[in-house]
Amino acid sequence: MVFFNKDEQLENLGNSILDATWAAFGTLARNQIALTWVVYDPPVLVNTGGALTPNAFWDHPVRGFTYRGVERIYPASVVKLFYLVAVNEWLEKGMIQQASKELERALRDMIVDSSNDATSLVVDILSGTTSGVELPIGPFETWKYQRNIVNRYYQSLGWEEMETINACQKTWGDGPYGRERAFVGELLENRNMLTTNAIAKLLHSIVGGVAVSSGRSQAMMALLKRNLNDLPADTEENQVTGFLGGGLTENAQIWSKAGWTSQVRHDAAYIEIPEQRPYLLVVFTEGKAQAKSRAILPFVSKLVADAIASL
Q: Is the dihedral of CA 151, 152, 155, 158 positive or negative?
A: negative
Mean pLDDT, to the nearest integer, of 80-94? 97
Q: Are 266 and 114 in contact (CB under 8 A)?
A: no
Percent of the chain predicted with pLDDT > 90: 91
Residue type, 19: D
Checking if the pLDDT of 261 tops 80, the result is yes
β-pair partners for 262: none
pLDDT at position 247 is 97
Residue 306's closest CA among 256, 266, 252? 252
The Cα 151–Cα 126 span in angstroms is: 11
User: What is the gyration radius of the CA atoms in the chain, in angstroms?
Assistant: 19
Percent of the chain predicted with pLDDT > 70: 98
Q: What is the pLDDT of residues 210-233, one digit of tens each?
A: 999 999 999 999 999 999 988 777
Q: How distant, in Å, are the alpha carbons of 57, 88, 163, 197, 287 from that of 156?
A: 19, 16, 10, 17, 33
The Cα 163–Cα 2 span in angstroms is: 12
**Residue 188: its H or E element:** none
Q: How confident is the model at residue 30 (pLDDT cuts 50, 70, 90)?
A: very high
| Mean pLDDT for all residues in the chain | 95
Residue 257's closest CA among 176, 177, 171? 171
Burial class (CB within 10 angstroms; exposed 0-12, middle 13-18, buried 19+) of 2: middle
Mean pLDDT, to the nearest integer, of 138-163? 98
The Cα 222–Cα 1 span in angstroms is: 30
Q: How confident is the model at residue 50 (pLDDT cuts 50, 70, 90)?
A: low
Residue 62's closest CA among 280, 263, 300? 280
pTM of the model: 0.97
